[in-house]
Every structure is written in structure tokens, then in C-alpha cells.
Amino acid sequence: MVYLVPAFIFVPLVELLILLKTGEYIGTMNTIAVVLLTGVAGAYLAKSQGLFILRRIREDIQMGIMPSDKLFDGFLVLAGGILLLTPGFLTDIAGFCALIPFTRELIKKWLKGRLVDRLKLQRFR
């Protein structure tokens, strides 16, 4: 919670500054076009990746395997889709990273490491 409040204040301000500067360099209409294009491309990628992961989850369940790793992928795809629908270049970069399988694996590995570290800390308290 301590990190969320500054993030909800700081990130939109930085995004706004970047959008304004981009508008100065490439023009307002081009900036709007880029934002809309990344939103549409992101929605398509989120849908295709989401359906792919959903299919893999179903396969695992049919084979009697707990799809925990794929559920984590599904969460990242959902988060990436939400980030891509948020106007701004930083959120678009983070969203695309969550949707592209290679970078999603890196994010997943990092998040799992953080979760394991937190669980270890909780155990010793």
C-alpha cells in the first residue's frame, strides 16, 4: 500500500509529461494516433495471449495437473492488457512486456523470487 499511493500520483504525472513532450515533437494528432494504435495492438495481443493461456489451463486441468504457472501467466496477461488500455508510453511498455512470452517469463521469475523472499521473511517473524 505504501508504494501504490505514490505510484498512482507519480506515474500519471510522468505519463502526461511524456505525452505532452511527444506531442511537441511529432504533433498532437500523431501522438493520439500512436496511443490509439498501441491500445488496439495491445488489446489484440492480450486477447490472443489470453486465449492461448486459457487453452493451456484447460489442458492441464484435463490431465489432472494444477495449472499454477499458467494462472500466473494469465494474471500477467490481464495486468498487461489493463496497462495497455491506460494511455501513456510507460504503461504501454510495461503492458507489452507482460504480454510478450519471453519478457513475461522474466517478469514471472522476478515476481516469484520476490514472493518467495516475502514468504521467508514472514516465516521468521
- Dump pLDDT digits (tens) for 29-84: 999 999 899 889 888 988 999 999 999 999 999 999 888 889 989 999 999 998 98
Give the pLDDT band (50/70/90) at residue 20: very high
- pLDDT at residue 19 tops 90: yes
The predicted pLDDT at position 15 comes to 92
Mean pLDDT of the region 95-123: 88
Mean pLDDT of the region 86-94: 90
Mean pLDDT of the region 74-98: 91
- pLDDT at residue 124 tops 70: no
Mean pLDDT of the region 115-121: 80
- In our burial notation (b when 16+ CB lie closer than 10 A, e otherwise), range 64-90 reads eeebeebebbbebbebbbebbebbbbe
Measured between alpha carbons, how far is 65 from 82 in angstroms, rounded to an integer?
28
The predicted pLDDT at position 31 comes to 93
